[in-house]
Amino acid sequence: MQIVVNGLGEMGASLALAIKNANTNVEIIGVDRNQAALDQAAAMGLTTQTTTDLMTVAAQADVIILATPIRAIIATLRDLAQVPLKEGVLVTDTGSTKVQVMAAAQGLIKRQIAFVGGHAMAGTQKAGIHALDAHLYDGAPYFLVGDDVAAQRRLRTLLAGVGVQLIPMPAEQHDQMMAYLSDLPHVVSAALVNSTRQTAAQYPELPRYAAGGFKDTTRIGGADPQMWTDILTTNRAATLAALHSYQDSLAQLVTALEQDDPQQIYDFFAASRQLRQKFEEEMG
Amino acid sequence: MQIVVNGLGEMGASLALAIKNANTNVEIIGVDRNQAALDQAAAMGLTTQTTTDLMTVAAQADVIILATPIRAIIATLRDLAQVPLKEGVLVTDTGSTKVQVMAAAQGLIKRQIAFVGGHAMAGTQKAGIHALDAHLYDGAPYFLVGDDVAAQRRLRTLLAGVGVQLIPMPAEQHDQMMAYLSDLPHVVSAALVNSTRQTAAQYPELPRYAAGGFKDTTRIGGADPQMWTDILTTNRAATLAALHSYQDSLAQLVTALEQDDPQQIYDFFAASRQLRQKFEEEMG
């Protein structure tokens, strides 16, 4: 089986390796705009063929996995809808938002090409093929999106040995959940970092006195700007709804403190503690 | 030397033990409203005397350490200004905010009683004497506040063997830095938890899919509500200034996303990453 993996970054290369390790008779064709990544993939025996141009190998693929940044996934889905593909090809992606991906896949779907939207809750702060990890996906939730049940069954078979938890989910629910679990925390953390700029300039020793709370809440404020710009702009409505909900919640506390109302302040923190403790019990 | 420690919670009991281990000829007199905490302190040999009423032992103290919640520290400082104390007594506290503590200590200071405001960047999510840890203060920044240089020298001598980093700092600077390093992150984290309530009710499986970013940014949203109500209301002006700065920073991103302006969104995350990386190099 020839599997074309478009994008040999941390997510794509690690998924390719995990699929290769879990299946016999799989050949990986690596596609990346970065020749050095292709050379490294070939040198380690991950790929049997490499190219910088997906369109030169798309027609020979039994499976196409789109693992580039999300905006490139959307553009590629539209391009693929215009070119000849092998009979019975399965197309899937690894993008972090799914409503726009499913919309972009409609051209393929109208041609009766099997498509499954995919997204794994895996990945680190690292990037690129240097972050390759055969165990990156171990135990990770892996969402399957779309109406093509037969296509989902084929992807399940391919991923059976990878060790992910496969979870079918509507695109809208996926994106709304990600808005709260992922998009909102990244904005909140980055805004926290940005808001300290003036005080950190006034007191350059500030970071030396940071304790665990500041370190933890600002950590993902250091995430990749291009990646998060793409994720937010492709999940705009759900992220804006989450941000407005967050602004309302924050404003409650600000008003309570402006009014010096200890009962309202207590209730705000008590509600948070109660809900966070419930989350703690339920989080993996 | 008789050291009265008022409040045998995590901070007070751990500090008492660290001082006892680092100094000879020290006797700890334990004061707490909780008799079980006093019994445990006595049983483990931490204290030579215990009482639920500070005023019955205040006059025999060479050193008085106020380690209760911050509002009780402020009230106790005012009470102590009205009662007889031993000639040469040194009074200090462990409260998380310092402007209001220094104001409350003016009655003692006017009586020429030696006072140093203290605050260590130590402590965990745990509470009470069960959280006692002889090494809690190891290497922690420990701020010394006030104008009484001789009193600060005496406290330095007492804490010399405890292993803290003693840092003199004006009360206003302390409170402004804490507003950003501690108060604001706790509000931001609790607001994040509270804002997910509706979506978590709609999709009860939500917390199961939480990854590291959500876990880290919401962790301190589980902190003690009474403690944070007290800290915020005793550091109100500085915390409100930090909150308003944060709301402005957040609003920039919300506006950029509402206007679907990828360059502004990119700039927001790029600024955060650049500053967070600088912090990372400087954080202890």
Which residue of A lies nearest to B258 if distances are taken between CA atoms?
A240
Query: B206, A179 in Cβ contact below 8 A?
Result: no
Verify whether the Cβ–Cβ distance A273 to B223 is below 8 Å: yes
In whole numbers, what is the pLDDT of chain B averaged over residues?
A: 96
- The 10s digit of each residue's pLDDT in B34-44 is 999 999 999 99
Environment class of residue B175 by beta-carbon count within 10 Å: exposed (0-12), middle (13-18) or buried (19+)?
Answer: buried
- The 10s digit of each residue's pLDDT in B9-20 is 999 999 999 999
Give pLDDT, residue B284.
72
Higher pLDDT, A264 or B128: A264
Instruction: From B178, B200, B179, B249, select the one nearest A221 (Cα to Cα).
Output: B249
- For B181, residues 6+ apart whose C-beta sits below 8 A from its C-beta are A206, A209, A210, A211, A213, A214
Q: How many C-beta atoms lie closer than 10 Å to residue B208's C-beta?
A: 15
Facing residue for B276 by CB, picked from A177, A222, A283: A222
Cα separation, B146 vs B151, whole angstroms: 9
Residue B194 has pLDDT above 90, yes or no: yes
Mean pLDDT of B106-111: 98
- The 10s digit of each residue's pLDDT in B213-242 is 999 999 999 999 999 999 999 999 999 999
Facing residue for A269 by CB, picked from B218, B228, B280: B228
Task: Name the CA radius of gyration of chain A, rounded.
Answer: 22
Which residue of B lies nearest to A278 if distances are taken between CA atoms?
B207
CATH numbers and ranges of domains, chain B: 2-169 (3.40.50.720), 173-282 (1.10.3660.10)
B220 to chain A, closest Cα gap in Å: 6
Give pLDDT, residue B111.
97
Q: Helix axis angle, B184-195 relative to A262-282, nearest 10°? A: 60
Which one of A173, A176, A199 would you mutate to disrupt binding with B, by most B Cβ within 10 Å of its Cβ? A199
Per-residue pLDDT of chain A (284 residues; tens, 9 = 90+): 999 999 999 999 999 999 999 999 999 999 999 999 999 999 999 999 999 999 999 999 999 999 999 999 999 999 999 999 999 999 999 999 999 999 999 999 999 999 999 999 987 767 889 999 999 999 999 999 999 999 999 999 999 999 999 999 999 999 999 999 999 999 999 999 999 999 999 999 999 999 889 999 999 999 999 999 999 999 999 999 999 999 999 999 999 999 999 999 999 999 999 999 999 999 97
| Phi and psi based region of residue A128 (left: phi greater than 0; alpha: psi -120 to 50; beta: remaining) | left
Give pLDDT, residue B248.
98
Query: A134, A21 in Cβ contact below 8 A?
Result: yes
User: Does B241 reach chain A within 8 Å, measured CB to CB?
Assistant: no
- For B188, residues 6+ apart whose C-beta sits below 8 A from its C-beta are A188, A191, A192, A217, A250, B217, B246
Which residue of B lies nearest to A279 if distances are taken between CA atoms?
B207
Verify whether the Cβ–Cβ distance A225 to B277 is below 8 Å: no
- The 10s digit of each residue's pLDDT in B39-86 is 999 999 999 999 999 999 999 999 999 999 999 999 999 999 999 999
User: Does B253 reach chain A within 8 Å, measured CB to CB?
Assistant: yes
Which one of A218, A244, A281 would you mutate to disrupt binding with B, by most B Cβ within 10 Å of its Cβ? A218
Facing residue for A258 by CB, picked from B221, B240, B252: B240
